[in-house]
Amino acid sequence: MYNVKIIGAGSIGNHLAHASRSLGWHVTLCDVDQAALDRTQFQIYPTRYGSWDEAITLMLVDDAPRGAFDLIIVGTPPDSHLPLALEALKENPKALLIEKPLCSPSLDGAETLKTRVSESNTLAFVGYDHVVGKAAQETSLASKQLQSIETIDVEFREHWGGIFAAHPWLKGPQDTYLGFWNRGGGASGEHSHAINLWQFFATQLEKGRIIEVSATLEYVKTEDVDYDKLCLLHFKTEAGLIGRVVQDVITSPARKWARIQGANGYVELTIGHEPGIDRVNWKINQDDVQSRTIHKTRPDDFIWELQNIDSVLSGKENTSAISLERGLETMMVVSAAHLSESKKRTVRINYEKGYIPQALELL
């Protein structure tokens, strides 16, 4: 049983509190805002999961104990992640889970976090839960039958009305980081699961990291907001693989989809093929199309994510698809996308320089 502290009692804080409780772990859920703690107890948690769980300790951040936790989760807006993560590291937890996107596209603090984690005894993870979900794992497994990978495509296109429906206390993107790309919002940050999933498949297929990004973004800029609503990305990896990602906050109904094309066939993933069902289809050589359906609930996403962390902490696995390095790589691509759009140039990511803006070079 782990002792878990969750910082941020918003949407994700509630999901991860529930997932932790489902695994029998002890939870302290904290926030800077008393209204968020009240909303958790009386609105979000009972509405989502049927009833409030009296075993969860709710606290203002300043009142929460320090140093007594196995796992600390940072579930606040992206531009606050790194200062909070650096503070959390001082508590010496066994594991630190930081929500996605890891930080704002400025990359402020990213390299410092990487260094501090490597000097600590803490294992750090970034909350890209899709890559540790069963559908992505099935897709990856089926793709091993492909010979000579031609290209990978991933799309996470979803109107963000659903997010605001789940946050009825927000009037719209202007009330939160979501309305500001430079705080980690907009399509590039919010749906960066797509970039991360693309990187996961490319890595599994031994195609290396993304080293070139060319992007076209469409921004909405008014007195109240400044975000990208559409983010179109082309990539090249260390092994020369070329592929594409689309992320947007305007498509309805949503389309969350991936396809890996090989010389001898394809594998295709549809997330939310039907409500509560993900589907993986594949056709290899002259065989019939095969498919697998994965039934899952929203809580499963976060239970599987925490189980992945548990399996690394307990030594059952020695690497994780949601490691800090993978989250940092995704952040470099998000940052490169904004630079590519602003300069109308392809951006090369030079990982040798570290996770800093100077590692993004114009081609």
Ligand X SMILES: NC(=O)c1ccc[n+]([C@@H]2O[C@H](COP(=O)([O-])OP(=O)(O)OC[C@H]3O[C@@H](n4cnc5c(N)ncnc54)[C@H](O)[C@@H]3O)[C@@H](O)[C@H]2O)c1
Question: Beta strand 360-362 with 347-349: parallel, antiparallel or unpaired?
Answer: antiparallel
287 is an interface residue for ligand X by CB under 6 A: no
How would DSSP label each residue in 32-98? S-HHHHHHIIIIIHHHHHSS--TTSEEEEGGGS-SS--SEEEE-S-HHHHHHHHHHHHTT--SEEEE
CB 266 within 8 A of CB 259: yes
Q: Does 320 bind ligand X (CB under 6 A)?
A: no
Q: Which is nearer to ligand X, 80 or 203 (CB)?
A: 80
Smaller CB separation from ligand X, 72 or 233: 72
Nearest to 127 by CA among 357, 320, 354: 320
Q: Which residue number, 33 or 206, has a Cβ lying nearer to ligand X?
A: 33
Name the token pair of 292: 């697998």
Residue closer to ligand X, measured from CB, 5 or 207: 5
C-beta contacts of 31-35 below 8 A and 24+ residues apart: 31/7, 31/60, 31/61, 32/60, 32/61, 33/9, 34/60
* Residues numbered 104-133 forming contacts with ligand X, rule: CB under 6 A: 127, 129
For residues 135 and 339, what is the distance between their CA atoms, to the nearest angstrom? 32
Q: Which of 4, 18, 187 is nearest to 97 (CA)?
A: 4
Contact map string, positions 45 to 74, toward ligand X, x by CB under 6 A = ----------------x-------------
Nearer to ligand X by C-beta: 105 or 127?
A: 127
Q: How far is the CB of 308 from ligand X (least distance, A)?
A: 13
| Binding segment (CB under 6 A) for ligand X, from list 27-35, 89-97, 104-112, 345-353 | 27-35
How far is Cα of residue 113 from the mean position of the Cα atoms in its chain?
17
Rule CB under 6 A: say whether 82 interacts with ligand X. no
Q: Which of 10, 105, 109, 186 binds ligand X (CB under 6 A)?
A: 10
Residue 75 CB, shortest distance to ligand X, in Å, is 5
For 173-195, b/e burial (b = at least 16 CB within 10 A) is: beebbbbbbebbbbbbbbbbbbb
CA 124-125-129 angle, 5° bins: 170
> What sign results for the dihedral spanned by CA atoms 189, 324, 353, 151?
negative
Please identify which residue in 32, 250, 254, 277 interacts with ligand X, judged by CB under 6 A: 32
Q: Which of 4, 6, 12, 131 binds ligand X (CB under 6 A)?
A: 12
> Least distance to ligand X from the beta carbon of 252, Å?
18
To the nearest whole angstrom, how small is the minimum distance from the Cβ of residue 44 to ligand X? 8
- The conformation of residue 357, written as its DSSP 8-state character, comes to G
- Of 75-83, 139-147, 153-161, 317-325, which part binds ligand X (CB under 6 A)? 75-83
**CA pair distance 165, 112, nearest whole angstrom:** 36
Rule CB under 6 A: is residue 245 a binding residue for ligand X? no
Binding to ligand X (CB under 6 A) within 148-207 occurs at 167, 176
- Count of residues touching ligand X (by CB under 6 A): 24
Q: Is 79 a binder of ligand X (CB under 6 A)?
A: no
In the bound complex, what is the minimum distance in angstroms from residue 80's beta carbon to ligand X? 5
**Which residue in 36, 197, 324, 332 binds ligand X (CB under 6 A)?**
36
Contact predicate 332/104, CB 8 Å: no
Query: Exposed e or buried b for every residue in 308-323, given b needs 16+ CB within 10 A?
Result: bbbebbeeeeeebbbb
Kindly state whether residue 307 participates in binding ligand X, applying the rule CB under 6 A. no
- Contact predicate 106/296, CB 8 Å: no
Kindly state whether residue 11 participates in binding ligand X, applying the rule CB under 6 A.
Answer: yes
Closer by beta carbon to ligand X, 214 or else 270 = 270
- Give the one residue of 17, 20, 88, 99 binding ligand X; rule: CB under 6 A: 99
Among residues 45, 73, 78, 333, the one that binds ligand X under rule CB under 6 A:
78
Chain residues that interact with ligand X, rule: CB under 6 A: 7-13, 31-33, 36, 61, 75-78, 80, 84, 99-100, 127, 129, 167, 176
